[in-house]
Amino acid sequence: MNCQVKDELVSRLIALNNKLNLLSPDLVHGDEERAEVQQQRESLYAEIKHHRTKGHEGKPCPAAKQV
């Protein structure tokens, strides 16, 4: 079973992970920018976790088993 909300959240997480990888500490990017992306990523993880457990009118996401 597919869930459009889950798919969107996972897509956003992948984009943030890619951005975080591009902000390598070996490059010139500052710690502030990396910290901001990391904070967004942690917030998104929390949102995904909430959606998996109670995202469908208080019920677990039917697609959560596939995540």
Domain boundaries, the chain: 4-66
pTM of the model: 0.73
pLDDT digits (tens, 9 = 90+) for 24-60: 666 656 778 878 888 999 999 999 999 999 888 888 9
What pLDDT, on a 0 to 100 scale, did the predictor assign at position 13?
A: 92
Q: What DSSP line would sit under 29-56, residue for residue?
A: --HHHHHHHHHHHHHHHHHHHHHHHHTB
